[in-house]
Amino acid sequence: MLSRLLFSLFLLGTLYGFSTPVVLAAPPVSKGSHVQPVLPVLLNLGELPDSSFSGQEPPRVTADAAVLMEASTGQVLFAKNAHQQRPPASTTKILTALLAIEGGRLEQVVTVSSRAATVGESSMHLFPGQRLTLEQLLYGALLRSGNDACVAIAEHIAGSEENFVWLMNQKSRELGARNTHFCNPHGLPARGHLSSAYDLALLTRYALKNPTFRALVSTRYRGFVNPPWREYHLQNTNRLLWSYQGADGVKTGTTSEAGMCLVASASRGGRQLISVVLHSDDRYGDTMVLLDYGFTCFKNTAVVEAGQTCRRIPVTGGVVSSVPLVSDRTIEVTVPVHRPPALVKRFNVQTDLTAPLPRALPAGSIEVWVDGEPVAKARLLTGRSVERLPVYRLWWKNLLIGMTATEIVYVLALKDFCP
C-alpha cells in the first residue's frame, strides 16, 4: 500500500512538473551516544518541544565552563566546570555597571580623562575632556562594550581605576564570589583577572534585582547626541535579545584568552533564568540549549506560604499552652518536572517560650533542601500574642502541678465543700 502511494506521488510530480523531493538519511547513531538538538543561532525562538528534554538528560554545550541558574531561588540547574577560574572578558562590566549604579547618579556629568580615552580594543571612541552623563557611559559600557567608558566610570565613582577595582573585589567577596578577582573594570586580559561561571551567575543574579541595571542590559539600541563631540548609535552586542523569546540581558565578552563568553538571562511565565557560558564555540547556541532545558524541564513551586503555620511551641505562664509559628515569607523552590524531587524541611526553633508574647516575635527558622542541597530559608514568627496568666492563677496552676492526682481530687472536693 505504501509503495503504491509513493509511486502515485512520483507520477503526479512527473506529470505536473513538481521537483522530486530529496530525502537525506540521518547517519546511524551508535549505541549509548546522545543526539543533541540542532539549534539555529539567530532564528531559534526558544520553543523546543517538550520531547527534546523528555528524559531530562542534561544538555551538551561546547563551552569549557557553563552554569544555568534560577534567578529567584539561586538554584543551579546545570553546571559544567562551574567553579573553574577563567578569564571573564567583558562580562566583567556587569559588576562595573552595578557599582556605578549603586554609587552614582545617572544624571551626573563625567569628564573623560586622557587615560580613559586611550584604552584600546572595544571602545566608544571617547576624547580627553569630553563630558557625558553617567547614564550615557553606562549604555556605552554595556551595549557597545566600551572599555574607555568603563575607565571613565571607574575614575568618576572611586577617584581612580585602582580604587574602583578594590571596590569590585570587595563587592564580589561580599556576594560570595569566592573564585573571582578583578584587576580592571573592563575585562581586558590581565594576569590574575579571573572569575568562574558560577560566580558570574551569582553576581548577575544580584545585579538583576536592580531595576536600572535590568533596563540597561535589556536595551537593544540607544542613540544620543553629545555636542560638540559626536552623535552615538549604540547597538547591543548581545544578539540573543533579537533571537530568543523572553531574552532580557545581559552581557557578551570576547578575548583571545577568554574565547567567546556570554552571560544571558531570559524570562517566561514569571520565571527568570541566568545562563553563563565561557570559552564557547557557539555561545548563542549553547545559551539557547541551556535556557530551553531550564524552561522545559523545571518549574517553580511554593512549599511554604507566607503566614502558614509550620510548628507549635509550648508557652510557659500563658493563657494558652502553645503558640503557632508561622513563616514570614513564601518559600518557592525550583524542582524537576519529570520526577518527584527529594524535598526536606528542617526546623530550628526554641524549645519553649515564656509569656507574655507579642505577635510576630522571631522564634526560629525553617530551611528547605532540594535533592540534598539547601535552597531557601525563612524566619518563623509567633502567629499570635499571648498574655501572661494572673498571679493567683499561676500560683494555683503551680500548686496543682506539684500535687498527686489524689491530692488534687481532695483539694477540689474541699473547695466545693467549704462555704
Q: Is 93 a catalytic residue?
A: yes
The beta strand positions in 71-179, using DSSP E, are 76-80, 109-111, 131-133
What is residue 418's three-state secondary structure? coil
First to last CA, the chain: 107
Residue of 52, 113, 122, 145 marked catalytic = 145
Catalytic residue from among 52, 80, 90, 196: 90
Q: Let me know if 54 is a catalytic residue.
A: no
Instruction: Collect all residues with Cβ–Cβ distance below 8 Å to 186 and sequence separation of at least 6.
Output: 90, 92, 93, 96, 119, 141, 147, 150, 151
Give 414: exposed, middle or buried? Use CB within 10 Å, 0-12, 13-18, 19+: exposed
Burial 376-394 (b: 16+ CB within 10 A, else e): bebebbbbeebebbeeeee
List, in sequence order, every beta strand (DSSP E) within 14-145. Answer: 65-70, 76-80, 109-111, 131-133
Give the burial string for 295-330 (b: 16+ CB within 10 Å, else e).
bbbbeeeebbeeebebbebebebbeeeebebbbeee
Q: Is 365 noted as a catalytic residue in this protein?
A: no
User: Catalytic residue among 93, 113, 172, 196, which?
Assistant: 93
Q: What is the DSSP string of 311-333?
A: EEEEEESBSSSEEEEEESS-EEE
- The set of catalytic residues is 90, 93, 145
